[in-house]
Amino acid sequence: MFLLMMSGGLFLFAWLFLALPLFRKSRAFLPVTLALLVLAGRDLFFYLNDQPWYGQEYPLWANMLSSALFGALVIVAILSVPWAILFGIFRLLKMEAIRELRGGLTFVLILLSCSAAFFCVHQGYSMPSDINYTVGSMMVPRGFDSTRIVQVTDLHFFKGTSDRRIDDLAKRVIAAKPDLILFTGDLVDGTVGQRSAQLRRFIDDLKKGCSPRFGMISVPGNHEYYSGDYAGWMSFLRDQGITVLENSNVKLTAENGDALYVAGVTDRAAERFGGEKPDFAKATAGIPRDAGVIMLSHRPYRPQGTFDRAFLVFTGHTHGGMIPGVDLIVKYENEGYVSGLYHDYGRSLIVSNGTGIWSGFPLRLAPHVADNVIVTLKSENTLKHR
């Protein structure tokens, strides 16, 4: 219902600022209105066909086509205001020759928006690029010096996710030779019955290709709650040998006996489904005051009062802002965080663009592309990115 309302709002916005001011007295008014309605029709189609999660049960080609049309509407809506202002200026300057071309030029704008949207969808489903960080801290014990951590987040497996793509994503993680694999939520879109075979394949690929000495650890994301099968997913992950943290922590022990703790919180979407909201104090309870702590949270928060105990925080959720314009909304909704490595209040906070992309809005444009975050720990005060 949310995206249905959003697509209706985008249509109304584009109609008010594009079709109405430019074409209300023109024969092009109806064709432009119909073109905008076609672009806005995706979410109505999904809603009427009992697809509340916007195509997660449709094949990849159908998802890409419908998402490109919806993406074109987003782009047209973003451009409609400057487009209307531009033709307003032409009117004031009495540039009637150009104003007479407004119908054709607007259809060109819509076609270019569709082309750009198709390109962004292609970018959205491209494979992630490796992003390497070196994070040094006096809180990293000597026994964990040079430990390699790979973050997997926002996979968003849906019906259109092929076995080949699953295997290729796993190969990217394996190639990094991780000592620890961290999952930070939104791994699937659907119930255990719908998606377990895909996620099991991915995890089995990881087990066959690498043996991280500190194992695999996970926290939930909002889509695990949205699936309607949250408890089933947490049980599934545990059955696969993954440590699941729900406002809790786990102690990692190096060969020399040094200890490092990983703490993880639930997602704030839990409250809508009667679950336990994120509790950072509970997540770090029992950890010695002088111990090093890595925190996992699906979405980023301002560190003060949340990540106080951690020297390093892994998050996702934002998809890196996806495309220009939308990234401003993402930044506003996520306390100023969008993508990359932040060094706030004496700690390092990583916001991954996501290993995958959500089928509800699978658009990306560089530099907002998918990433495979690889972190090397150092027992010193260093902070590097390459």
pTM of the shown model: 0.87
Question: What percentage of the chain carries pLDDT values higher than 90?
Answer: 62
Q: Are strands 371-378 and 383-385 parallel, antiparallel or unpaired?
A: unpaired
Per-residue pLDDT at 44: 62
In our burial notation (b when 16+ CB lie closer than 10 A, e otherwise), range 214-233 reads bbbbbbbbbbbbbbebbeeb
The model's pLDDT over 66-104, given as tens digits with 9 standing for 90+, comes to 888 888 888 888 887 787 777 778 777 777 766 666 667
Helix (H, G, I), strand (E, B) or coil at 375: strand
Q: Are 114 and 72 in contact (CB under 8 A)?
A: yes
Residue 52 above 80 pLDDT?
A: no
Angle at 171 between CA 319 and CA 207, to 5 degrees: 105
Per-residue pLDDT at 121: 94
- Beginning with the edge strand found earlier in the chain, give each strand of the sheet holding 292-296 in spatial order: 248-253, 259-264, 292-296, 312-315, 347-351, 340-344
The model's pLDDT over 350-360, given as tens digits with 9 standing for 90+, comes to 999 999 999 88
Q: The tokens of 184 are what?
A: 């930070």
Residue 43 above 70 pLDDT?
A: no
The model's pLDDT over 202-214, given as tens digits with 9 standing for 90+, comes to 999 999 999 999 9
Nearest to 224 by CA among 209, 242, 249, 204: 242
Phi-psi region of 254 (alpha: psi -120 to 50; beta: other; left: phi over 0): beta
Nearest to 302 by CA among 342, 355, 257, 272: 342
The rounded mean pLDDT for the chain is 87
Residue 279 above 70 pLDDT?
A: yes
Domains of the chain: 2-124 (no CATH), 129-385 (3.60.21.10)
d(CA 243, CA 194) in angstroms, rounded, equals: 22
d(CA 222, CA 289) in angstroms, rounded, equals: 30
Q: How far is CA 35 from the centre of its chain?
A: 29
Q: Which residue has the higher pLDDT, 383 or 148?
A: 148
d(CA 375, CA 329) in angstroms, rounded, equals: 28
Least confident of 107-116, 148-157, 335-344: 107-116
Which residues contact residue 313 at a Cβ distance below 8 angstroms, ignoring those fewer than 6 apart? 294, 295, 296, 297, 300, 303, 307, 347, 348, 349, 350
Give yes or no for a cis peptide into 367 (omega within 30° of 0): yes
Angle at 203 between CA 312 and CA 246, to 5 degrees: 45
The model's pLDDT over 221-258, given as tens digits with 9 standing for 90+, comes to 999 999 989 999 999 999 999 999 999 999 999 999 99
Alpha-helix residue ranges (DSSP H) falling in the chain: 2-14, 20-23, 29-48, 60-92, 96-99, 102-124, 163-175, 192-209, 222-226, 230-239, 280-283, 326-333
d(CA 170, CA 182) in angstroms, rounded, equals: 13
Determine how many CB atoms are found less than 10 A away from the CB of residue 323: 24
d(CA 47, CA 376) in angstroms, rounded, equals: 45
d(CA 171, CA 179) in angstroms, rounded, equals: 15
Least confident of 15-24, 143-152, 320-329, 347-356: 15-24
d(CA 99, CA 357) in angstroms, rounded, equals: 40
Maximal C-alpha separation, the chain? 80
